[in-house]
Amino acid sequence: MRRTFLQFVLILCTTVHIVFAGPIEDCKEFAAYGVPSLSGDLLCRKGYLLSHDPDKKTPVWVAEHLTWGKAKGTVKRSNDFQADGDLEQGKRAELSDYKGSGYDRGHMAPAADMSWDGQAMSESFYLSNMVPQAGVGMNRGIWMELEKKVRRWALERGELYVYSGPIYEREPKTIGRNRVAVPRFLFKVVLDPQKQEAIAVIMPNRQLKTEDMPNFLVSVREVEKQTGLQFFSNLPEAAQDKIETVKAPKLWQ
């Protein structure tokens, strides 16, 4: 059953361990169309909202509200990677977990999306916003190109809601002393709230050819099936069905 946002808030307050890194009012922007799940630790940042899995030490999902103004930002990349101080040791990833692992520290809310504000930029480098991601041909290839496309879409369309996260095997490979889980796939869901349309991808976490990006287009409902998440729960069910069941025939122009 799909829940309203008010129902979500009531359930969230009684059943979920919430970690607020800022006033809850700051998070409303990212939850305007609902929150994908009730599980994990909710972390509210200046530039994104995420749910963190203390067992896998990675985000369950990360939500952004990317606007024309944000996409036009000029703040330089900070590269100040750091463990998330709002999470307990042993329930979070550490820099040492990634060292020598062969995996990149892969942003879910991209640093380049945070170029509108210094604090937002710095917070994007918390490891709670990252997953172990294949480097060449993935984090430094097709995924980076997808992130660039999303920013271009934001400039052209005015605003987008963007959701990113991992998909795991039943018993995922792990890295480091803290056993940070390595996703088998990564997803990204992008909602255009004005046109009431969405585009979604699921990509294997390995080296891929950038020109093959259209091959990874799926419906939002397929992402829900693969992850157990629920998107756009604040919309009427008819609107959700219309948006979520359609697979984009091609990448947005």
Q: What are the residue numbers of the active site? A: 107
Query: Which CA distances in Å does 186 have to 12, 76, 91, 195?
Result: 26, 26, 21, 25
**Of 110, 91, 86, residue with least CA distance to 177:** 91
Residues 6+ apart with CB under 8 A from 117: 46, 47, 73, 75
Residue closest to 169 by CA, chosen among 154, 155, 150, 182: 182
Q: Give the span between the Cα atoms of 149 and 128, in whole angstroms.
A: 24
Phi/psi at 78 (5° precision)? -90, -35
- Bridge partners, residue 59, by sequence: 52
